[in-house]
A and B are shown apart, each in its own frame.
Chain A
Amino acid sequence: MTSGTTQGATNGTTIKRDEVLKIAHLARLKLTEAEVDALSRDLNAILAYVGTLSELDTEGVPTLDHAAEAGDTWREDAPRRPLPRERALENAPRTGDGCFAVPKIIE
């Protein structure tokens, strides 16, 4: 499964600050300046460490995508009682008209 171009060797990858901000945005984290600095350092250290995996020859080795052994868990198409609406909404920070209320997207 590919999500984009393949990178080369992963040893010695340095994440730059703007990339850290990009990742933070993807993850919807509003990091403080101090956090961005700390995370840049941490991520670089960790990535250098995990980059050691590139030492291993994995040519032809399948990925272990599914940890569970093959099984037969299906659901029959028979309706089950849903949650009453009040329970579905009871943990919501804000509701309105029987819906979850969220701020509008600001362009």
Chain B
Amino acid sequence: MEPFAWTLHEARERLDRGEISARELTDALLERVARVEPGIRAYNTVTEDHARARAAEADARIADKQAGPLTGIGIALKDNMATEGLETTCSSRILKGYKPPYDGTVPARLNAAGAVTLGKTNLDEFAMGSSTENSAFGPTRNPWDTTRAPGGSSGGSAAAVAADMCLAALGSDTGGSIRQPAALCGVVGLKPTYGRVSRYGLVAFASSLDQIGPFTKDVEDAALMLAAVSGHDPLDSTSSSRPVPDYLADLKAGARGLTVGVPKEYFVEGADPEVLAAVRAGIDVLAREGAKVVEVSLPHTAYAVACYYLVATAEASSNLSRYDGVRYGYRDADAQGLLEMYMASREAGFGTEVKRRIMLGTYALSAGYYDAYYRKAQQVRTLIRRDFLEAFEAVDVLVTPTSPTTAFRLGERTADPLKMYLSDIFTISVNLAGLPAVSLPCGRDGEGCPIGLQLIGRAFDEATMLRAAWAFEAATDHHKAKPEL
């Protein structure tokens, strides 16, 4: 197998055994990028020189027997994470050319761990979207079928992993933006519990929903990546002080003894029958592996998308107020007067979907509408969270489809924003409740497009969720399939 096709843990073993150097591994990945990227467009920026320099440092550490799990490992970062001195655009014209004067906490931790950043990946502008078609720089293509979208908003990171253009990648998930593209691209995508991973340096979309998480080729890699980025950050007041457990300790303990809940509201009409069939087959796998399977109910599921599109857009409209052309970012140079400068710069700098959400969010917060919209949605959010808390009294993990459909064709949904929003129907509740969830490849449809199975865990119990995930994966080989490129 080519080095670029290895999993993270396979690469680690070979690096530590001296079978390959970090430099060689990085070169192999960069060559793969050069060959395959033009057809995929996963990367906004490939940081070749930076990567090679980091690889050299990694080799020194490996030689000194000072290597950690990620030393020398080539990864990609979604382009909404602040990387000092490296262009960070959020795939928006308003931040084209912007180079942060600081490193976000997660990028800094990865650097400290010796990881090799290969580049910044494409996304829906400001993480708003489910297809990466809202990128100001053009969409990323699904490696399984380049006429189709990779999902979004972390489409670039998902595609990069699926196409072996990095060993792992980081994305961000606000309403499903890691899990949905993971499902559509046939890779593992994990969203941690809200507060598990620092948000300092993650360009905010919806502050109470955003989390950084990994894309990997298998569950063990996801556990490794999660371990590397988790933990309290004094620069993020919303990050949890709970100690980070050893995610590898019980990873391979198996499904016996676990109770898996199947929420009935997720298996009604609206989802693709092939998707439902593949997920049901996945549930059977878990049962065969020894899990107890029970039906549960999450009664407020139908209201989740509505709730999300009020809370998230309100927070987004607030978080995007800082893009005013004063201290950084795009400024309309011809504007006469301050007001004109604000209005023209933001108009030209933001794309359509971003503007749509800013408008919706501003409306939801505005005088006279706050109670009926924003406040109401925050109350419904409590109801949604209560549904999960109640369900988890009886089960250890929930299983659902990740996405109602497989990858849709580029351009197919861009005319109808509401239809695009409904792509997130199975992932959104999880963000509203702040819970961890992971999408695993569980098959492909008749056209060869990947299908994803979602596991949802208790707050801060990623370990149990990963254990169930690994048990499923070990009994199948969906994760081994790769697109032909």
Contacts and interface: CB of A to CB of B under 8 A. Distances in A.
B371 A2 contact: yes
A26 interface: yes
B337 A1 contact: no
Contacts of A45: 417-418
Interface in A65-91: 65-69, 71-73, 75, 83, 87-88, 90-91
Interface residues of B, number: 78
Interface in B324-372: 324-331, 333, 335-344, 346-347, 350, 352, 355-356, 358-360, 362-363, 365-372
A28 B240 contact: no
B209 A67 contact: yes
A46 B361 CA distance: 11
Interface stretch (B115-123, B125-133, B260-268, B300-308): B300-308
Contact of A71 (B99, B241, B309, B370): B241
Interface stretch (B134-142, B377-385, B448-456): B377-385
Interface string B153-183: 0000000000000000000000000000000
A46 B309 contact: yes
Contacts, number: 201
A8 B377 CA distance: 15
B372 A6 contact: yes
Contact of A27 (B306, B317, B325): B317
A84 to B, nearest CB: 9
Nearest to B330: A93
A49 B367 CA distance: 21
A64 B331 contact: no
A56 B356 CA distance: 26
Q: Main secondary structure on chain A at its contact with chain B?
A: loop
B376 interface: yes
Interface in B201-222: 208-209
A28 B346 contact: yes
A69 B338 CA distance: 41
Contacts of B328: 91-93
A35 B355 contact: yes
Nearest to B344: A30
A96 interface: no
B360 A102 contact: no
A29 B382 contact: no
Nearest to B358: A27
A43 B367 contact: no
Contacts of B350: 29
Given A20-B359, A35-B355, A91 B194 contact: no
A28 B337 contact: no
A10 B344 CA distance: 32
B150 interface: no
A66 B208 contact: yes
Contact of B234 (A2, A28, A64, A73): A73
B99 A53 contact: no
The 9 closest A-B pairs by CB, nearest first: A4-B367, A91-B328, A106-B337, A63-B378, A30-B343, A68-B238, A93-B331, A58-B379, A67-B208
Interface of A: 1-8, 10, 15, 20, 23-24, 26-32, 35, 39, 42-43, 45-47, 49-54, 56, 58, 61-69, 71-73, 75, 83, 87-88, 90-94, 100, 102-106
Interface of B: 98-99, 101, 194-195, 208-209, 232, 234, 236-241, 300, 303, 305-307, 309-310, 317, 324-331, 333, 335-344, 346-347, 350, 352, 355-356, 358-360, 362-363, 365-373, 375-383, 385, 417-418, 421, 432, 434, 459
11 contacts: A4-B366, A4-B369, A7-B371, A28-B346, A35-B352, A46-B421, A50-B307, A56-B383, A63-B381, A64-B379, A68-B237
